[in-house]
Amino acid sequence: MCGFVGVIGTDRAGAAVHVAMQAMQHRGQDAAGLGTFDGKRFYLHKDLGTAVQAIPPEVVASFGGRAGIGHVRYPTIGSASREDAQPFLTRRPGILAAHNGNIINMDQLEEELRERGLFVLSRCDSEPIMLVLADELTRIRPGGHTSDDLVQALGALMDRVRGSYTVVALMELDGRKTLVGVRDPHGIRPGVYGRGPGGAWMIASESVALDALDYELVDNLPAGGVVLLRGGDEPVVRPVRDAPVRPCVFERIYFARADSIMEGGRVNSVRWELGERLAEEWKARGLTAEVVVAVPDTSRPAAMAVAEKLGIPNREGFIKNRYSGRTFIMPDQTAREAALRLKLNLIGEVFTGKRVILMDDSIVRGSTMRRIVEMVRTAGPKEIHVAIFSPPVRHPCFYGIDMPSREELLAAGFGDEEFDLRLAAYFGVDSITYLSQEGLEAVNGGRTCAACFTGEYVVPISDEERGYILSQRRSA
Ligand code: SF4
């Protein structure tokens, strides 16, 4: 998972990007990069750590230009090294680009690029995307590219590059500095653009980056299309390839910030509605409880909705240490477990002697939930009921969320028969209730990617490609 921003048409573009990157920090903390373009030169700096750690103020201050892009990285493929940090820069033609997503045919692309005399230096899948774009543009002409050239090159790119990708790029088109936003034909990963003061524009993974600088949200980046932005001009939206639009539903469940507006809806409201739906399904099982406690932070709106629907209180039962990382996206098991021990502390009296609903967004490996249940049990609750406001995660994601192989996904190992009973026994709780797939679709509509729940991958992926991605993740 990663987050990106791009701005154009504003003074001190580097500083603006740096601020907006911090609003995207939840999407990746391993590395960060910032680049600007003044029409003649590109400036680029990237390093390990968060935006503040990786990009010192003197670097930001030294970068010229009224256009820039930034990226915060969490590797789903490649490593957490400086070399794999984004953005990437090509010199011919000059393109500064960053992306969020996961390319599933990276091996094939690297081979095709080698045959064209182009070598990939990093293990980040952003680099081959950019090299393919540069390759397709230079096939049309060596330089002086037009918007039409870009649309033509992106058509070829969308035929060659398979997987999920939302790309932000800075380049010269039609003789003008242009901020470019591209989204794969299914629109799997998110992206928005918005209007700033004095004719400025921003592209970002989530709308909260726009909020940080008081830009006004205009629209989502078009799936299978491109947006061209220039300071002082109206946006130009060009379609490139048509396909069923399937944005990632897991963004709305877990990954995106609750205050983001994604695919037209506030993430917080989506989580609330998922909670309401879960409450109905929970009640239909004939279960009862006295208090709802959210595992912070993602599940808070859903927990409030469940409490409201069931007519019981919602209480804070955990205090989160703000200075530890998100356990699910930390790269290895030891680091994840250490982070969890640091991450949550219990307000024991909230649980003592009560029949408690413990709300969470999802269960991936199950190690986090096991430790939380162990912790809660020390407070002496009468009953523990686990409620999850998404269906069981049974299939890995190959489109940009770092999930382990199917063998490591807890729910995949429990089959269908008496699933809830056996899983409750595994956790040592009184019940476990997942939101049904129908419930998820009732809130989000069926037009999303939900492959990690259903196994129906919107971009088909071969066994070889799966093996390649999982091995790259393991080595990362
Ligand atoms: S498989 Fe799951 S996590 Fe991956 S893009 Fe689809 S919905 Fe999102």
pLDDT tens, residue by residue, 354-412: 999 999 999 999 998 999 999 999 999 999 999 999 999 999 999 998 888 888 999 99
Any catalytic annotation for residue 2? yes
Nearest protein CA to atom 4 of ligand 1, as residue: 397
Gap from CA of 466 to ligand 1 centroid (Å) = 14
Residue 180 has pLDDT above 80, yes or no: yes
Separation of alpha carbons 403 and 345, rounded Å? 26
401 Cα nearest atom in ligand 1 = 3
Separation of alpha carbons 207 and 460, rounded Å? 29
- Amino acid of residue 28: G
Q: Which of 182-191, 345-354, 466-475 has the lowest mean pLDDT?
A: 466-475
Two structure tokens written together for 32: 């960060």
Two structure tokens written together for 340: 């969890």
Kindly state if the Cβ of 461 falls inside 6 Å of ligand 1. Answer: no
Gap from CA of 383 to ligand 1 centroid (Å) = 33
Nearest protein CA to atom 2 of ligand 1, as residue: 452
For 427-451, what is the mean pLDDT?
Answer: 96
DSSP 3-state of 208: helix
Greater pLDDT, 318 or 82: 318
Residue 74 has pLDDT above 90, yes or no: no
Task: Give the pLDDT score at 330.
Answer: 55
Nearest protein CA to atom 8 of ligand 1, as residue: 248
Nearest to 98 by CA among 160, 15, 17: 17
Chain-centroid distance, C-alpha 361: 15
DSSP 3-state of 442: helix
Task: Give the pLDDT score at 264.
Answer: 86
Query: Which residues does 334 contact at the CB level (< 8 Å), separation at least 6?
Result: none
Residue 278 has pLDDT above 70, yes or no: yes
Catalytic residue among 2, 124, 449, 452: 2
- Which residue out of 188, 254, 255, 362 has the highest number of ligand 1 atoms within 8 Å of its CB and is therefore the one to mutate? 188
Gap from CA of 476 to ligand 1 centroid (Å) = 20
Query: ∠ at Cα 282 (280, 288), nearest 5°?
Result: 115
Kindly state if the Cβ of 458 falls inside 6 Å of ligand 1. Answer: no
Query: Which residues does 258 contact at the CB level (< 8 Å), separation at least 6?
Result: 266, 267, 268, 271, 297, 298, 300, 301
- Indicate the fold that domain 2-246 takes in CATH: Glutamine Phosphoribosylpyrophosphate, subunit 1, domain 1 (3.60.20)
Kindly state if the Cβ of 397 falls inside 6 Å of ligand 1. Answer: yes
For 53-74, what is the mean pLDDT?
Answer: 95
Gap from CA of 456 to ligand 1 centroid (Å) = 10
Gap from CA of 362 to ligand 1 centroid (Å) = 13
Kindly state if the Cβ of 188 falls inside 6 Å of ligand 1. Answer: yes
Residue 326 has pLDDT above 60, yes or no: no
- Indicate the fold that domain 266-457 takes in CATH: Rossmann fold (3.40.50)
Tell me whether strands 291-294 and 355-360 are parallel, antiparallel or unpaired.
parallel
Residue 338 has pLDDT above 70, yes or no: no
453 Cα nearest atom in ligand 1 = 2
Task: Give the pLDDT score at 416.
Answer: 82
Give the DSSP H or E segment for 282: helix 267-284
pTM value? 0.93
Task: Give the pLDDT score at 320.
Answer: 87
Kindly state if the Cβ of 60 falls inside 6 Å of ligand 1. Answer: no
Kindly list the domain boundaries of the chain, sorted by start residue: 2-246, 266-457
Most confident of 73-87, 228-242, 324-338, 339-353: 228-242
